[in-house]
A and B are shown apart, each in its own frame.
Chain A
């Protein structure tokens, strides 16, 4: 197990290194130019040239790459071109916000998707299954940002049940008692987390339904029923454990999708997370921030998959991790 873990960690490191290299050259070779003024105002080229010199952008690309890797090896992500602060400081504030959003969305995704999938499988080809099938297919098909905009329009602007953006009420939050502050945070979290979570849950439900249906048709399930076990026990104990493998795989794969979705949802709901930081940085060609966010996202994805592999083993001891 330990040897397997070491091998997987080494592979993860190699993947992250490859991502760093690929992203670095892609960003620098892509058209567009960093260090532009924020507004469209005439700018003195001498000032831009001085800035390019300060950030080392006037040096050959491989020299820049070497310097970047050296700094990265020392845990230094560099200075943002646009934010006038270190990238580490910017990430320190943005990452927890994204984790709160994605963790909540992931919980909604997995719990709701899992429950719906089981429900649909046990009511297969009946009205509830068909109805939920339509709903999940619809949610799975719509772009996340579109769903976000609709939810924002209906529940934020028209009904005014939920705030339209931000993490807290900027004027009232700190004047509230602790329960109010907690409620305020949940209230602001509701729409973005639901948007992100519902799209994921729709996919999870469809996978889980298929996996459960396959398991429910197997001999050991028929045997369990023949033994006189209750349907609840047959489904939740015998069938579910066997359908769990696909669920775990799915959970590992959900993370990249959630992170991609977070870029759009954070923009629509003005959520100050990593996704919004990345989107702004890409548009402004803020290379150090783009690099750092890419590294952070790739580490999270690689670790998520590693965790899924470990859980896979726990759920089904027949799978030998030493085999890869």
Chain B
């Protein structure tokens, strides 16, 4: 018993010492610590090699782009873009774009940011040795040169509507003086990626693997001193653990609560405010148009356009969204996320009409001849397997509800749940009948649609092998015209075609919901980069709590 008492006493002392407010510390407008509950850990903070959203979140606070997307997320022309490293820009001729850098911009080691850094960055992003995932997004830029220390000149191979977007959006400018001597083939595991020096509003402090990653405000940041002094990402293994930390008051923010249950939990926590914003994800049931495991033969069921249309008409997509997302998703008007500028197109998806669906199937010869509840034709049943990743509760829910919605029509759906890695492998190999897929899109439809729904995406992300030359032509035209009105018309026509062909049932486009501690003011979230406006968030001096006031940066 004395032993137990001693142990308990130590615990209590620890708890008291932990809970005791620091006696001295920060006060005023530039205090504050925000702890983000992060799902997963960055792989590196070196921008050309950043892949995960958490790595992007952190590195976007440390490194700047030349300019950033505005709130409208317009990607055509340069309208609405916000200057960042580039103070201004100008077009020379049809294929030359000139950026004038802000002379106040400094690397966090004190050196000025120069046009030479911009040229170096382009070289790095397009170097095969670095193997950056952004390399293909820069393929129309033929060169970037420095005409003087503050002027960077971009030459393009051709003129197209998203030239400016490509020039500024994919690259975060890198410090040439710190990276020039690091062999490009070794960038993936370079020490710089775990302790970067950038030019953004926050500077790197520490990264404890599996635990935390901390940044501190750069009080000399040339675009304005950030109000929040410390940013800490607490690394958690999954969303449930992250939400538990948030609800318990240990963390301050989660960017996506995802499920209605998590949103309910966060709403019930009095210290949290809920912030919905446009989501970059859309999900669908994709049909394999080729025979399972044999890409040369058409699929015995889904090779038939009418069967696909009938199944699409038999699924009540609106009800599914309401059941699984509540108000936090919409049925998309085609393969698109809410952040795309084409979201508001007036397209006509196939209607929910089970009678017409049944008529189509009967017309195509699919009838229940042996009265077992499943339609059949020439000895083959109208039955297919639906591939679903076990990691997604939403998609597992969708699979069960779709199974139930198609059963009365005489269609059997067999749910095939596999882990994520197997899911992708089988999707790429065509070893599925139908799958429940989601895509996280970048802000432009041009690249995403081409990669996932046109012939160019075969062998890449067009898992269902949907090909329609008329659709491909319209996508190409919409992506190459410099007129937004013409692009809008072409995108609309393209979406009409794909909706009528029904290579997939487009099920949901999410609205993201973030939860942020109420003591934090001026919270805005950017759909393509959630915490991009973080430097303008603030905590009024009257609402500071212990962790806001604590003196000095942690994480040693």
Q: How far is the CB of A183 from chain B (nearest CB, A)?
A: 2
Instruction: Tell me if A84 and B49 are in contact (CB < 8 A).
Output: yes
A38 at the interface (CB under 8 A from B): yes
Q: Which one of B22, B214, B248, B448 lies within 8 Å of A42 (CB-CB)? A: B448
Q: Which one of A45, A172, A276 lies within 8 Å of B460 (CB-CB)? A: A45
Q: How far is the CB of B67 from chain A (nearest CB, A)?
A: 22
> Would A276 and B210 be within 8 Å (CB), given that A32-B422, A165-B241 are in contact?
yes
Residue of B nearest to A266 (CB): B237
CB-contacts of B426-452 with A (<8 A): 426, 428, 437-442, 447-448, 451-452
Instruction: Tell me if A84 and B209 are in contact (CB < 8 A).
Output: no
CB-contacts of A138-183 with B (<8 A): 152-153, 156-157, 160, 163-177, 179-180, 182-183
The interface residues of chain A lying within 8 Å CB-to-CB of B422 are 31-33
Instruction: Tell me if B234 and A166 are in contact (CB < 8 A).
Output: yes
Instruction: Tell me if B452 and A42 are in contact (CB < 8 A).
Output: yes
Residue of B nearest to A169 (CB): B18
CA distance A279 to B546 in the complex (A): 34
CA distance A45 to B49 in the complex (A): 16
Instruction: Tell me if B237 and A174 are in contact (CB < 8 A).
Output: no
A129 at the interface (CB under 8 A from B): no
CB-contacts of B30-54 with A (<8 A): 33, 35, 40-41, 43-44, 49, 51-53
The interface residues of chain B lying within 8 Å CB-to-CB of A213 are none
How many A residues are at the interface, by size bracket? 35 or more
The interface residues of chain B lying within 8 Å CB-to-CB of A152 are 244
CA distance A166 to B234 in the complex (A): 8
Instruction: Tell me if B419 and A182 are in contact (CB < 8 A).
Output: no
Q: A184-192, A195-203, A306-314: which lies at the B interface?
A: A184-192
Q: Which one of B238, B391, B554 lies within 8 Å of A170 (CB-CB)? A: B554
Residue of A nearest to B22 (CB): A175
CA distance A185 to B10 in the complex (A): 11
Q: B162-170, B172-180, B186-194, B216-224: which lies at the A interface?
A: B186-194
Instruction: Identify which of A34, A79, A170 gathers the most chain B CB atoms within 10 Å of its CB.
Output: A170
CB-contacts of B99-148 with A (<8 A): 128, 131, 133, 135-136
Residue of A nearest to B211 (CB): A272
The interface residues of chain B lying within 8 Å CB-to-CB of A97 are 210
Residue of B nearest to A277 (CB): B210
Instruction: Tell me if A284 and B421 are in contact (CB < 8 A).
Output: yes
Instruction: Tell me if A186 and B550 are in contact (CB < 8 A).
Output: no
The interface bits of chain B over 225-266 (1 if a CB of A lies within 8 angstroms of the residue's CB, else 0) are: 000001010111110010011011110000000000000000
> Would A39 and B235 be within 8 Å (CB), given that A171-B35, A272-B209 are in contact?
no
> Would A166 and B546 be within 8 Å (CB), given that A32-B421, A85-B194, A160-B248 are in contact?
no
The interface residues of chain A lying within 8 Å CB-to-CB of B91 are none
Residue of B nearest to A176 (CB): B17
Q: How far is the CB of A182 from chain B (nearest CB, A)?
A: 6
Q: A84-B44, A165-B244, A170-B555 are in contact. List 20 more A-B contacts (CB 8 A).
A: A31-B418, A33-B425, A38-B55, A39-B440, A42-B448, A42-B452, A84-B188, A84-B193, A156-B248, A157-B248, A163-B248, A166-B212, A175-B554, A176-B18, A180-B17, A183-B17, A186-B14, A268-B241, A270-B235, A270-B237
- Tell me the A residues contacting B by CB distance below 8 Å: 31-34, 36-47, 50-51, 54, 79, 82-86, 90, 93-94, 97, 152-153, 156-157, 160, 163-177, 179-180, 182-187, 190, 266-270, 272-273, 276-277, 279-280, 283-285
CB-CB nearest 7 A-B residue pairs? A183-B14, A272-B210, A180-B17, A38-B52, A32-B421, A171-B547, A42-B461
9 contacts between A and B (CB under 8 A): A84-B43, A84-B49, A86-B189, A171-B546, A182-B10, A182-B14, A267-B237, A269-B241, A276-B237
